[in-house]
Amino acid sequence: MFTPAYTEVMSDELPALPWDRPRGRTRPPRIPLTRDRIVEAAYVVLDREGYDRLSMRMVAAELGVAVSALYAHVSSKDELLELMYSRFFADMDLPDPDPERWREQLRDYARAALAKLRSHRDLARISMGSVPFKPEMLPHMDALLGVFRAAGLPDRVAGAAGDVLSTFVDGFALEEGMWQDRYRATDELTWQGMREALERYFAELPPERFPHLTALSRSMFGRSNDERFDLGVEIIIRGLASFAAEAAAAGETATGETGNDGTGSDEAGATERPAG
Amino acid sequence: MFTPAYTEVMSDELPALPWDRPRGRTRPPRIPLTRDRIVEAAYVVLDREGYDRLSMRMVAAELGVAVSALYAHVSSKDELLELMYSRFFADMDLPDPDPERWREQLRDYARAALAKLRSHRDLARISMGSVPFKPEMLPHMDALLGVFRAAGLPDRVAGAAGDVLSTFVDGFALEEGMWQDRYRATDELTWQGMREALERYFAELPPERFPHLTALSRSMFGRSNDERFDLGVEIIIRGLASFAAEAAAAGETATGETGNDGTGSDEAGATERPAG
DNA sequence: CAGCTACTCTGAACACTGTTCACCGATGAT
DNA sequence: ATCATCGGTGAACAGTGTTCAGAGTAGCTG
């Protein structure tokens, strides 16, 4: 290790030693560390190494900086993860409620959210692991509630609809990521090959013990993941449509608000078939 | 440290030294370590300390045993977590499909699963973090598929229905647990107090920016969690009912199977996901 | 009963992790 | 030119999952 005094005195007249760090103006002006740069580096590490190997030391190494330097800008790893998660909501555009197009809007929003979750490896795990509420998601919650109300959902149902939709999107992305981790670890199988292997596995189970699994193995794994996702979203949308139709009917017959809590413990008004 | 030879020779004639471990028959016969005992101890630690503090060393301490002893019965912490997760499916009873009662059966199953997830602290996190498929869940998947088919769902929809339902149940329990962790850490608030605080928080947001959130804060947090859960399940059930009714109608008019994939308006099947 | 093997369990170690803290060097201000 | 401030450093601490040579015990064999 050279002492600073030595390099300061000598390097004005002599060329810099090859193993010595460049100094003066030749050295890049040392970009200061910021939260943003840290978050960015964390995403690089996440994409390259995955969630399990994402550590403060790796982020610091990515920035060419000591670990402890991070703690001047970020109070803990948890906070860093939350900052990463907050970026999730940054550049997603929000629907503005249109009663005519609420189904399409929900479908589009769900697809956009899934695409965002897929855009970084293991991002779904960060999303699922974060505290269930961040101020950044307020505009999203509000916009979604707006769509639900535009669809004609009673308030109680609107309040619960967001849960169903968001847990499905998050859970779907999480499961998808786990399969990827899985086959990343075991073999160099492609995603398609994995699905085929699963289909074969289920098809070859003893049919007397698992009659439905064996019969449906093709239906479960034959189609693409996107189709499975769309189908799930469609199930939810139709469920919401049923409540909307019910509310509309009640609104026509009686002007006052009904006390129906929407859980429909009986199986009466069900099977409201949407036109979609 | 005394050498074993010393204690062996002397302790027959002399009383045992007070700091020496009792030997011979007075010592409890040393119950052998088994996978089951380890899993059981892990659950004790989980309930007392929570998922974040669940470590191999704590499990070992709970059993009064060295850490490395665990690795003779369990190959890794991941395997231990999977063993814990496997217990989840052990004593849940399965519905046997009844076309007349499929809604009730799904509702009961969802409630039972939620109750199971609630029965141990942070169990939902283990569930969500586990690999998406375990052989123990085969009977459950088959039984659920049976219910879906009994309901009259087309195969494609039945294959996706399980995803929607299970991600909702898991996600709901996970979120609930996170709120609990949250208020456990910050204050000695009760669960009810937490909900009230949240309701107030949303109600006091600027209404011009968040018109729907402020308007619906009561609807979202006023009711109990169980009601919110039931409502979510009901949304899914109605969505499935819609597909079932559609299939029934198609089956009456035309005998052949229709090619409808159930996703409704397409326009997006694209973005087949690459494996990476 | 003695001797042996087989097996469980121990204690120490390794390579990590998140986090803290006394210092050091370069910056901007007096 | 001196001082103070502050961002960044390196070492340390307590904790993690995991491995491994070796005790100690149990049960089987001669």
**Does the structure show a pLDDT above 70 at B145?**
yes
Using the Cβ of B204 and the Cβ atoms of chain A, whether some distance falls under 8 Å is answered with no
Q: What is the pLDDT of residue A14?
A: 42
Structure token pair of residue A128: 């699922």
Q: Which two tokens stand for residue B196?
A: 């009230």
The angle that helices B77-87 and B56-63 make with each other, rounded to 10 degrees, is 70
Out of A256-270, B60-74, B101-115, pick the least confident.
A256-270
Decide which of B267 and A228 is more confident: A228
CA of B69 to C1' of D20 (A): 12
Calculate ∠ Cα B87-B93-B98, nearest 5°: 145
**Separation in Å: C18 C1' and B57 CA:** 18
Q: Given CB atoms, is A236 within the 8 Å cutoff of chain B?
A: yes
B149-197 pLDDT, tens digit per residue, is: 999 999 999 999 999 999 999 999 999 999 888 877 666 667 778 888 8
Q: What letter represents residue B14's amino acid?
A: L
CA/C1' separation A218–D6 (Å): 64
Q: For A96, which residue in chain B has the nearest alpha carbon?
A: B212
Tokens of B230: 């039931």
CA distances from A182 to A60, A149, A185 (A): 28, 41, 5
B209 vs A4, higher pLDDT? B209
Domains of chain A, earliest start first: 32-87 (1.10.10.60), 102-253 (1.10.357.10)
Residue B267 has pLDDT above 90, yes or no: no
Measured on CA atoms in the order A74, A76, A80, A86, is the torsion positive or negative?
negative
Residues 105..124 of A with a Cβ closer than 8 Å to B: which? 107, 111, 115, 118
Question: Would you say the C-beta of A26 is within 7 Å of strand D?
Answer: no
- Note the pLDDT of residue A30: 62
pLDDT for res A254: 62
Q: Which two tokens stand for residue A102?
A: 């609420």
Higher pLDDT, B22 or B102: B102
Q: Mean pLDDT for each 10-residue chunk of chain A (276 residues)?
A: 35 42 44 92 97 97 96 96 94 93 98 97 95 92 97 96 97 94 72 85 95 93 91 98 92 55 41 38
Summary mean pLDDT of chain B: 83
Q: According to DSSP H, which parts of B50-137 are helical?
A: 56-63, 67-70, 77-87, 102-118, 123-129
Whether residue A17 lies within 8 A of chain B, CB to CB, comes out as no
pLDDT given at position A188: 60
Please say if the pLDDT value at position B273 is more than 70. Answer: no
DSSP string of B180-230, one letter each residue: HHHHHHH----HHHHHHHHHHHHHTS-TTT-HHHHHHHHHHHSS-HHHHHH
Q: How many angstroms away from the CA of B74 is the closest CA of chain A?
A: 20
Q: What is the pLDDT of residue A223?
A: 85
